[in-house]
Structure 1
Amino acid sequence: MTHAASPARRAYRPARFPGAPLLGTQARHLVGRFSYGVTPALAAQVRAAGGAGRWFEKQLEPERVADRRAAGVRAWWSSLDRGPAELWQRQEREVEGGWEVMEDYARWALLRRITSQRQVLEVMTELWENHLNVPAVGDAQFTYRVSYGDTIRRHALGRFDELLHAAITHPAMGIFLDNAVSTARHPNENLGRELLELHTVGRGEYDEDDVKASARILTGYRVDLWDSWEATYSPRDHWTGPVRVMGFTDPNADRDGRPVVRRYLSYLAHHPATARRVARRLAVKLVRDDPPAALVERLAKVYLDNDTAIRPVLRALVASPEFKASVGSKVRDPGEDLVATYRALRVDLARPPAGPAGDEHAVRAMLWQVGNLGTSPFAWPRPDGQPIDNESWSSPSRVIASMDLHWVMAGGWWPKRGITYRTPAQWLPRKRIRFDLLVDHLSQQLLHRRSTARLLRACCEACDVRPDEVVSADHGLVKWNFHRLLGTVLDTPAYMTR
């Protein structure tokens, strides 16, 4: 028996406003997972590329994508290109603290994610900076932290064995996990252990003898801490003698241990346990929190069959039925929420002035905003990196903090300097428009999907406006309450997930 719809349900029947063509569900899903939010401009780029699949393929070769604006914002912070010795001297002379430089580095990363046309590269750079985590906070590693991020970005879509070698031998990693002071007489085990436990094969694949041998292999990479800050390789500090780590063996007879380090890291990168670990991390981040074992195994095979190349694994992931079935299954973390909100509201950002005068500018304030949501970029203190699962970012306090962010930005209340918000009148597609059509228009603009009865009802109740009520520039909604409408759309599950 078919029941007639209730009066309440009929009253909130969504309208359909004619707008630009929307991407289909699967296209929106693909672009949304590999970007920081589908905007009308991004959707237009996808259509111009010939569809989501072709857009994705082009994105996998970022050098093919012009990105002048994102490249130019680095000049806003001159210290991001200073050398380690100069950074340290500036801190000692109290010209600029290392923590200030690292806050600017986090701001630059957020601004790149907001503005970059190379969205897949930004997503993958964040993923690997998290997996191979070196916190920006620290009186020593900050001197090399920008260089480390640049290194990760160069390898983010390349081969994992090359990414691993570049990261593990980088001075920032060496300083953070004490390999920069590890010597033949006193090998430090921190990096040797985390390399096995976190970066490659994972727990259960090695024992304590493997950790000791791992640490010995990595000796020789030095940094002249607290003085010149020069990073060098010191053959006399390299431990020599036969080594064995799991199935890897080497006579390790040469004082220059760099070749054995490369062989060792290549062995780890090509290990089946590493293949599964990398595949699972990609699946958790880009598919769902509990990826099926069969998907992980398939991706691991692609990884090994392609000599640890990352692009073929991403192609296989996107083509999988598990990916296609995972629409809306991932919660945006604090950074993703902040970046997506700036992108969705289509604000214009200005370069902040130097000194205290710039403290209230939006580009600086965004770091405080994202911290209020739970964490800031590169602030996770442990080597394991920021969590990438839903549960870690789904607490009531996080949801309330996100609602507060959406509310104040929808109203254009904070930040107010160095930022230009769209006015309520600019959001109106017509001078006079029925409210249900306006809700559908905003749903297309902010969510890249049609409105629903639930969204229409929520907007009506939040704004105290009837579905058939006509809205114009003189309407109270536009004069005083438009933030309620924008905020309601941004607070939906469709927006809080990706």
Structure 2
Amino acid sequence: MTTPPPSRRALVGGALAASAVAAATSAPAYAASGSIRLLSGPDRHLVTRFSYGLNPTLAHQVRKAGGGHAWFERQLRPSTIADVDAAKVDTWWPELRFSPTKLWQRQIQQVQGGWEVMANYQRRALQRRLRTNRPVLEMMSEFWENHLNVPVNGDAQFTYRAAYGDMIRKHALGRFSDLLVHAITHPAMLIYLDQATSTKAHPNENLGRELLECHTVGRGHYTEDHVKASARILTGYTVDMWDTWQALYNPEEHWRGTVKVMGFRDANTSKDGRDLTRRYLRYLAKHPATARRIAWKLAVKFVKDKPSSTLVGHLAKVYLKNDTAIAPVLRALVASREFQRSVGAKVRDPGEDIVATYRLLGVRLGSPATYDAGVNAMLWQAGTLGITPLAWPRPDGQPIDNASWSSPARLMASLDMHYTLSGGWWPRERTHYIQPVDRLPAKQVRFDRLVDDLSRRILHRPASDKLLKACCMATAAKPGEIISDQHPVVLWLMPRLLTTILDSPDFMSR
């Protein structure tokens, strides 16, 4: 007995009604079945905020580590954690390791366009997030790639963009001063913000300005004269664009003369300005305004949209006390009472939403051996939610506040994506979905116990009364109804049941 899947219009109406009655903090609908071991509330909050979806496998890793804080502490030392499944995807797109010259030649010879290379870079990013045992490293790599943004879509910077991302991952849990020096002098950044064509006769101000405005101290702490001096300090760094694509430093193009940016002053008499640049960037990294800006941004990303000035000030002090090291700041952040009280205060952005949906539904993806393979299609799905990973076009990076990702259009797109994946309808190529019958915790189970089991697997918490009510509305099943492999819930209504859970506030927030 079969029936076609309900229309997306019908789903949206049902899901909106279901979401309207779902709530994050209601009491359990009935005694816990115990089929899924749950972490404590504080551990659940910590791991959910610093991962791309808390599933039973990750929960087991947390318990094995000794609890949430022990797990988090080990995450801050990612080299101690094996990550074979995530590393495997690096072999899927060998062009991401090609030299800039080779990548450019392949584009002009119409072998592979830069946009195609970058689409594969985005796919690799999604797959790493989906598969990783080092979610804190991946989250911080994403955070810094957005803070020090070089969009993947660019006809010149694409030649160095994968290497730029690898550099950021290397320094993501180190010192911000080191990361800033490597990022600002990296060929991808030089090309994107026009430093590659800046000369002593005509210093280009783009990178010098964004360095101050977006990457370090922020507006209100510098003048236009400081921007000009910032641009002059950076002269000499260049890339031989359109020919060899070699990144180099040309002392003949370094502007010489006294430079002053806020409290930084130098006679700048040497033709080789690289040491000057390093000292200038380290000065900016250690500036109190930068400390507060980095502290505020980390608090917005991992705590709530309007963190208290007390928390920001505390994190800034930790940052400066530890010579811009990031790990101590993250430790202080998760230890704060403000973090502990921020359960559910952050909305999942499009990238987090799609990765968590795949993870928590247990969708497995094979290599991109065909054009329509799920690995490829996952990127297209992400685009329908508002933005593909690392594609924000401006230097300020992708927004991290709730309002930016809470529009009706984004919500409707997420509902549609949840439903499509819950039904296993697309993608299909090289994509493995758990079959509806295999989601039953027993051959025969009461509907309320099925909802609870699914809630524990997807939301990592018992089903609330309101979630159960929403699931009953979506499927027309009653709480005590017995569900077997021949029941309509299994035969054709499982997508409605799953998407009701995925559309709930408990899933859409983190």
TM class by shorter chain equals: over 0.9
Determine the C-alpha separation between the residues in 1 that align with 2:180 and 2:68.
30
Q: Structure 1 CA distance, aligned partners of 2:90 and 2:348?
A: 26
Contact 1:335–1:377 (Cα < 8 Å) also in 2? yes
Name the residue aligned to 2:304.
Answer: 288
Aligned-pair distance for 1:423? 0.4
Aligned partner of residue 442 in structure 1, secondary structure = helix
SS in 2 for 1:222: strand
Where 2:170 maps in the other structure, the secondary structure is: helix
Structure 1 counterpart of 2:50, one-letter code: F
Q: Which stretches in structure 2 are left out of the alignment for 5+ residues?
A: 1-27
Can you list the C-alpha shifts for 1:323-382, whole angstroms capped at 9, x where unaligned? 0010000000000000000100111111122xxxx2211100011101000000121110
Asked if the contact 1:15–1:440 (Cα under 8 Å) also holds between the matched residues in 2, the reply is: no
1:214 — aligned with what? 230
Among 173, 195, 203, the alignment partner of 1:179 is 195
Matched, 1:418 2:418: no
The aligned counterpart of 2:7 is none
Matching of residues 20-419 of structure 1 within 5 Å? 20-353=36-369, 358-419=370-431
Match of 2:484 in 1: 472
Counterpart secondary structure, 2:260: strand
CA distance in 2: counterparts of 1:335 and 1:263, whole angstroms: 36
Q: What secondary structure sits across from 1:35 in the alignment?
A: coil
Contact 1:373 1:402 in 2 (8 A): yes
Give a deviation string over 1:170-206, Cα, whole Å, max 9, x none: 0000000001111111110000000000000000000
Structure 1: distance between partners of 2:75 and 2:29: 39
1:431 — aligned with what?
443
Asked if 1:491 corresponds to 2:503, the answer is: yes
| Aligned-partner SS, 2:315 | helix
2:471 to 456, 459, 483: 459
Between the aligned partners of 1:415 and 1:231, the Cα distance in structure 2 is: 40
Contact 2:29–2:463 (8 Å) recurs in 1 = no
> Aligned AA for 1:134?
V
Whether the aligned pair in 2 keeps the contact of 1:15 and 1:436 (CA below 8 Å) is no
Number of positions where the alignment pairs a residue of Structure 1 with one of Structure 2: 483
In 2, Cα distance between equivalents of 1:378 and 1:221: 25
Unaligned segments of structure 1, at least 5 residues: 1-11
> 2:334–2:340: 8 Å Cα contact kept in structure 1?
yes
* AA of the residue aligned to 1:84: P
Q: How many angstroms apart in 1 are the aligned matches of 2:41 and 2:414?
A: 25
- 1-side partners of 2:354 and 2:292: how far apart? 31
- 1:15 Cα deviation after fit: 4.6
Q: For the Cα contact (< 8 Å) 2:36–2:457, is it kept in 1?
A: no
1:244 counterpart SS class = strand
Moved beyond 6 Å, runs of 4+: none
Checking the alignment, whether the CA contact within 8 Å between 2:299 and 2:312 is kept in structure 1 is yes
User: Does the 8 Å CA contact 1:15/1:437 hold for their aligned counterparts?
Assistant: no
**Whole-Å separation in 1 of the counterparts to 2:37 and 2:133:** 21
**AA of the residue aligned to 2:264:** F
Give the structure-2-normalised TM-score.
0.94
Using the TM superposition, give the Cα deviation of residue 474 of structure 1 relative to its aligned residue in structure 2, in angstroms.
1.1
Name the counterpart of 1:445. Answer: 457
Q: Which has the higher contact order (CA 8 A, sep 6+)?
A: 2
Q: Percent identity?
A: 61
Task: Indicate the SS of the match to 1:232.
Answer: strand
Between the aligned partners of 1:342 and 1:221, the Cα distance in structure 2 is: 42
The C-alpha deviation readout for 1:18-51, integer Å capped at 9, x for no partner, is 2232111111110011100101000000000000
Q: Distance in 1 between matches of 2:299 and 2:322?
A: 18
